[in-house]
Structure 1
């Protein structure tokens, strides 16, 4: 297998070798075009940052304690990843980035962005949708500038500070410093356009690993400073938004508590006044022991019923909010106050799913499978949240019913007491209930004020945005290397294909691949009838080399017979035979040339001999004396046997048995016998 592969590789190299220069230039061209293309592509840098998502660990029975105010946030990292991809989160960072317009100048035949130091400022921008992402050219003049749009085939003159108004765009150009080069202005459109066309494809958020609540965010830009600036702004907004959302929830709860506190305070003052008045009027300070026990139990039940009353108003408000068609997120503060943590997390998950649906709706139609699947999931989650809230209300009502039964039992016992003592207990109970309820609301007020002050975001910056300022793309060295290798392979395959179209032997290597026979040498092209002279240095040396190789491969002293033929006529076969005879006789080898080209003999013309008798006459049996067939030349060691008489069946004479007899005689006389055979 290895030998076969090696042979193929050698054959492949032999086939493409004649085209080495075309391969070289095609490879060089491919490498140059790649380098040129990469030169005009802008370098892209990446900024990275790491943020920590704080989780709600350790929350259980103690979820209402103040300590747990400092551990808040999301347990669903996937939800946070989805939120990080939304336009809602990015819009403020985009606004601060201010790339509705980008300015470029031409430097060394490519466009370079002016990130910080643009000589002009464009404001009051309003463009049509078909101009988003398009370039316009501003060319400075002495008293103003030209605005040109190649896509709209538009060009006109305007003055600085005045409105530039066309059918496709409107803005005002403010000149900050003098400049003399054209400025290429890219119109990126609204913040939403910028998010969809630029931010979305260059921003990424992913988990650092599955076991840590860490998220890595990255942003790619042609300016590393701008990438860092954008990520830092995005993280600042993320943290501020988290604090704002939590504060808004606490404010709603605090507002409700303040209203209840005001009402309960008025009731407490009224109950204190009535109790004091009753005691003075009836000269009763304290109830009896039995009455005191009933009073304490009824007070405890009444306080719990008052708390349940607050919970009922909260849950009823939540139902009114939901039934009005508003978002579930609006009832989150109520559910937090009711300790419905599971439902709160489901609502947060629902919001994330809705934001994801909004993103998908920007890209796909309502019938897209992902959109349909997400809608079904949203519907299931909403149904589950509704059931959880209904169950929460049912639990509150059941608890209220149990407490009312207990209260009715104690009130029956109370009716058996004396009238004045019973009135005292009622007044005392109302006072105690209002007092404890007031204290409970004050505690809740302080607790929510503490939450408001102590609110910390769900996110913490672990690594601020940074960039190593090394371009991540394009990889110029790698790109040029790959293009060079690809061009080399392509040009080599093209050369191999070209070699397959050639039906001639262009190189001696071609012949070596086609035949297992030994090759003795190469000869230059000979003109018809041309023979070697002492002045023909190159030709003479070629035949000498050939003679050496023939001698080496045919070491016999006498009777070496060599037949020379060709694929067709006019391939200088007779010329080669005659020159071989000449070069061998020159080395003192007794040499004979036999002209067996019985159709078109030429040797007699080359050596100026007659054709009266020759090889055909002997083979036909017309002549038996070999000596009469051989003619001497002017060269001492070279004899010729011409073709002789030509007949219609001359070619059949070669099959005659007399041929072997003839060669047997001649082998004893000559060192080398060269036969000029029929093609």
Structure 2
């Protein structure tokens, strides 16, 4: 049972899918048109859309931290348990810095853009500019300003901005509200447009815009390369901007190193002046001492003491040199005027802790200088750097104090040993002892002087050999094709969009449609069976059923006649009532042609025009309506005077409605009306009643007591779905006898149900003027169904 149920569900789903596809295929030409329209709109969009290109570059950063001597570091890195901060990350942040981009914007004057008017849109120009704006002074806070420059000739032009127009010559300097500008003419490129649009915005806004367009990424943590990508609408402009950014970055890197070298050389030069003066003073004292004491050569006299005190003197000299350097650095750091300068690195004592502090201090000093390029001293970030520098200066002073204590302690020990030797020197003549003191001072000053000269040369050599921390692997180069809009994707979206838009419109039209369009709209709302389906009368004929008529609509009425045999099964069942939900659903048309098709079969038929409020049949057939049911009901005419020939067929008779009465319902309730139906049943084989819509008045229900069968008219595309539910109540509560539905005015292009006449129609190749009689085939098909 479950298998059968699942099979039915699959069949129903397949049927619904096929039905949906059939509905869509009925509008295939609209889908083709919408697809073509979507492709055309895509082409139009691609024709006038501004393309965006990716400008890509790559640099290699010198990163000593990628390797380490730490045992097992590779394993720890793989386990992500050891994270060593890479200098590559720092360089990425420098490349993203606002100060670097601001330098590029100012150097290239990117805050000024030039446009020319096209047929549809304005196009930016960059390469072949016939003139350029060079701002000599410019306001810092500047909203976007637009200028319109109209060349008059090769010598003059007019500049319009806001409501002001000024005439000037090329290469003139103009004083504008935004600043002073020099408009330079480039004679290499001719003036090809009548006017140019120049847009000006502030440096800050331009920098922010370009920072958003710049994308910087590290491919992976195993390499020290950096990928840069800049989005630009003009490839040449994007390449120049990216390459300018790379050059500015490399230049800034070299300038940082040169600044440290210059500071070191300046410090050494100052110390050389002092040490040179001290050394000259000691040498002058020795000269005066020898002259005053007439000493020529004391070497032989002091050879023994010199040999004994040589090692001590050398050690004392080294310690004194170190102490002098430490004191000098301590004085340099303590001096408030040097708070904003870097500490000379070439004189650093070989102490790991002190070296690390100096490197960190110099890095913060350089970072503070870069921050001050675009910020003030009161900026929180700068204040934070000042606090960090203050703490590092304290740490440096403490470290130097500790080093100084260690050196002084070593000097104290050496001095103690020297005192022991001095006790022996007391036996030496006083002149020799004084000369040794002078010699010791000379040696200390000379060693310090030579040390400073060596460091100065090293600093000068290092400055001349300074190179940037990175090198360019790939300079900025644009991709050959824009990354947006993508042509293939745009065409595909246009094609799909056109199809989906039409599908959505058809779906919404179907969803919001309140009228009957297909057979399912009827079967879902009422259990009443469908007796017949009548196609659209394209020729607008009142009577389509004639003896020689072979049209599809005529054949559908013949099929209805056949189906009526299954409803009116008894010999005394002759009366057929036609009604509908509202006016305009074709009751009169169907009633007239039904009567005609029954008359063609040799039966006597009388058609009663019982829509006493809006009669149409008499007018449709061109018959007078002065005498009819309304005059008969009040006893003014007899039955013989009431019944009139229709003029269509000899077996087809008509009872007109007569003049419109003021009380139609009361006439239908008269006893004379009941007598009329009794007499008509005796005289005719069929009695067809065309009554008023049951959805508006109760005439049909009153006449229903005389009827043997009821045909309820539903018109495709006209009857509301909600009105179909009215037949459900009439059918279930049997308010009218043998209710059957007749669907009228079915249009083949709307694909109602499954075709005219339960499966036949135009598809059989049946022609109205054809000679093949398919009525028997249709009837047999109906009987089988």
Give the match for residue 65 of structure 1. Answer: none
TM-score under structure 1 length normalisation = 0.72
| 2: CA distance, partners of 1:112 / 1:355 | 37
Residue 253 of structure 1 and its aligned partner are, at CA, apart by: 1.4
Aligned: 1:451 with 2:462: yes
Aligned: 1:48 with 2:62: no
| 1: CA distance, partners of 2:103 / 2:700 | 104
Map 1:415-564 → 2, pairs under 5 A = 415-419=422-426, 420=428, 422-423=433-434, 425-479=436-490, 481-482=492-493, 485-486=496-497, 489=500, 492-493=503-504, 496-497=507-508, 501-505=512-516, 511=522, 520-524=532-536, 530-534=542-546, 540-545=551-556, 547-548=558-559
Give the match for residue 586 of structure 2. Answer: 572
Give the match for residue 75 of structure 2. Answer: none
Aligned: 1:179 with 2:191: yes
Is this contact kept in 2: 1:31–1:483, CA < 8 A? Answer: yes
Describe the superposition over 1:501-550 as per-residue Cα deviations: whole angstroms up to 9, x where unpaired: 54433566755775676685342269999322449968x41241464588
Give the match for residue 311 of structure 2. Answer: 296
Is this contact kept in 1: 2:577–2:688, CA < 8 A? Answer: no
Is this contact kept in 1: 2:282–2:438, CA < 8 A? Answer: yes
Deviates more, 1:224-233 or 1:499-508: 499-508
Deviates more, 1:120-129 or 1:153-162: 120-129
Uncovered stretches (5+) of structure 2, i.e. residues with no partner: 1-8, 70-84, 619-642, 647-651, 658-667, 693-697, 710-736, 744-785
| 1: CA distance, partners of 2:699 / 2:297 | 166
Is this contact kept in 2: 1:298–1:410, CA < 8 A? Answer: no
Give the match for residue 404 of structure 2. Answer: 397
Give the match for residue 667 of structure 1. Answer: none
| 1: CA distance, partners of 2:372 / 2:276 | 48
Residue from 108, 115, 123 that aligns with 1:97: 108
Residue 564 of structure 1 and its aligned partner are, at CA, apart by: 5.4
Give the match for residue 317 of structure 1. Answer: 332
Q: Which has the higher contact order (CA 8 A, sep 6+)?
A: 1
| 2: CA distance, partners of 1:377 / 1:8 | 72
| 1: CA distance, partners of 2:577 / 2:369 | 93
| 1: CA distance, partners of 2:29 / 2:526 | 27
Secondary structure at 1:331 match in 2: coil
Aligned: 1:155 with 2:201: no
Is this contact kept in 1: 2:342–2:365, CA < 8 A? Answer: no
Map 1:104-503 → 2, pairs under 5 A = 104-123=115-134, 133-142=144-153, 145-147=156-158, 149=160, 152-165=162-175, 167=177, 171-172=182-183, 174=185, 176=187, 179=191, 181-188=193-200, 192-193=203-204, 195-196=206-207, 198-261=209-272, 263-264=274-275, 274=286, 277=290, 280=295, 283-285=298-300, 287=302, 292-320=307-335, 323-324=336-337, 326-327=339-340, 330-334=341-345, 337-338=348-349, 340-345=355-360, 347-348=362-363, 352=367, 378=385, 381-382=388-389, 384-419=391-426, 420=428, 422-423=433-434, 425-479=436-490, 481-482=492-493, 485-486=496-497, 489=500, 492-493=503-504, 496-497=507-508, 501-503=512-514
Give the match for residue 723 of structure 2. Answer: none
TM-score under structure 2 length normalisation = 0.64
Uncovered stretches (5+) of structure 1, i.e. residues with no partner: 61-73, 633-638, 661-672
For the structure 1 residues 400 and 26, does the alpha-carbon distance in structure 2 shift closer, same or farther, using more than 3 Å as the test? same
Residue 402 of structure 1 and its aligned partner are, at CA, apart by: 1.4
Is this contact kept in 1: 2:127–2:237, CA < 8 A? Answer: no
Is this contact kept in 2: 1:271–1:431, CA < 8 A? Answer: yes
Residue from 640, 652, 658 that aligns with 2:686: 640
| 1: CA distance, partners of 2:263 / 2:741 | 115
| 1: CA distance, partners of 2:700 / 2:199 | 92
Aligned: 1:608 with 2:657: no
Deviates more, 1:341-350 or 1:215-224: 341-350
| 2: CA distance, partners of 1:443 / 1:246 | 19
Deviates more, 1:516-525 or 1:48-57: 516-525
For the structure 1 residues 237 and 595, does the alpha-carbon distance in structure 2 shift closer, same or farther, using more than 3 Å as the test? same
| 2: CA distance, partners of 1:10 / 1:346 | 79
| 1: CA distance, partners of 2:740 / 2:251 | 103
Residue 475 of structure 1 and its aligned partner are, at CA, apart by: 3.4
Is this contact kept in 1: 2:333–2:397, CA < 8 A? Answer: no
Residue 110 of structure 1 and its aligned partner are, at CA, apart by: 3.5
Residue 307 of structure 1 and its aligned partner are, at CA, apart by: 2.1
Is this contact kept in 2: 1:23–1:488, CA < 8 A? Answer: yes
Describe the superposition over 1:620-642 as per-residue Cα deviations: whole angstroms up to 9, x where unpaired: 99799x8972444xxxxxx3236
| 1: CA distance, partners of 2:699 / 2:118 | 85
Residue 454 of structure 1 and its aligned partner are, at CA, apart by: 2.6
Is this contact kept in 1: 2:34–2:502, CA < 8 A? Answer: yes
For the structure 1 residues 649 and 90, does the alpha-carbon distance in structure 2 shift closer, same or farther, using more than 3 Å as the test? closer
Residue from 62, 74, 79 that aligns with 2:90: 79
Describe the superposition over 1:629-671 as per-residue Cα deviations: whole angstroms up to 9, x where unpaired: 2444xxxxxx323669x9x999468569x969xxxxxxxxxxx
For the structure 1 residues 451 and 548, does the alpha-carbon distance in structure 2 shift closer, same or farther, using more than 3 Å as the test? same
| 1: CA distance, partners of 2:699 / 2:465 | 122
| 2: CA distance, partners of 1:196 / 1:98 | 11
| 2: CA distance, partners of 1:289 / 1:3 | 124
| 1: CA distance, partners of 2:611 / 2:669 | 7
Secondary structure at 1:472 match in 2: coil
For the structure 1 residues 518 and 412, does the alpha-carbon distance in structure 2 shift closer, same or farther, using more than 3 Å as the test? farther
Residue 331 of structure 1 and its aligned partner are, at CA, apart by: 2.1
Is this contact kept in 2: 1:147–1:157, CA < 8 A? Answer: yes
Describe the superposition over 1:429-479 as per-residue Cα deviations: whole angstroms up to 9, x where unpaired: 334434443443343233323322332221111222222232223335534
Residue 578 of structure 1 and its aligned partner are, at CA, apart by: 4.1
| 1: CA distance, partners of 2:541 / 2:562 | 25
Residue 186 of structure 1 and its aligned partner are, at CA, apart by: 1.7
Residue 21 of structure 1 and its aligned partner are, at CA, apart by: 8.6
Is this contact kept in 1: 2:261–2:463, CA < 8 A? Answer: yes
Describe the superposition over 1:44-89 as per-residue Cα deviations: whole angstroms up to 9, x where unpaired: 32222111221244899xxxxxxxxxxxxx9533332222233432
Residue 250 of structure 1 and its aligned partner are, at CA, apart by: 1.4
